[in-house]
Amino acid sequence: MESKAFTVKEVAKILNLSEYTVRELIHQGKLKKLNIDKPIRVSQSAIDKLLDLDTNKSQVSNQIDIVLKKKEVLDLISTITSLQSMTNQILIMLQNKLK
């Protein structure tokens, strides 16, 4: 019997995670993808294997937390960079007005 292959979006819904987190789990080797080029597909057995890791549940949970925190940090860096850019633009405008 052939196993269903799920897209990243479907896996995210099944696991109640973001698509970003699912991609990170695949990238880290925590969730095995099928050997298909594009789009990324994940088998039911790979999802089951991730969910059946009772002894490693807290470890998986910690990995998910790390991925989520990594995304939060990247978002903060992006926000800070944008704010710095806007601040520099304001300073240039003020300097031009003072001339």
Q: Which pLDDT belongs to residue 60?
A: 67
Could you tell me which residue, 14 or 63, shows the higher pLDDT?
14
Q: How far apart are alpha carbons 96 and 71 in whole angstroms?
A: 38
Residue ranges and CATH numbers for the domains of the chain are 5-98 (1.10.1660)
Could you tell me which residue, 86 or 43, shows the higher pLDDT?
86
Q: Is 99 helix (H, G, I), strand (E, B) or coil?
A: coil
pLDDT above 60 for 23:
yes
Q: How many residues does the chain have?
A: 99
pLDDT above 60 for 54:
no
- The position carrying tokens 């799920």 is 6
21 to 6, 40, 71, 73, 85: CA distances (angstroms): 15, 14, 9, 14, 29
72 to 32, 50, 67: CA distances (angstroms): 24, 24, 9
Determine what percent of the chain is predicted with pLDDT higher than 70: 87
pLDDT above 60 for 2:
no
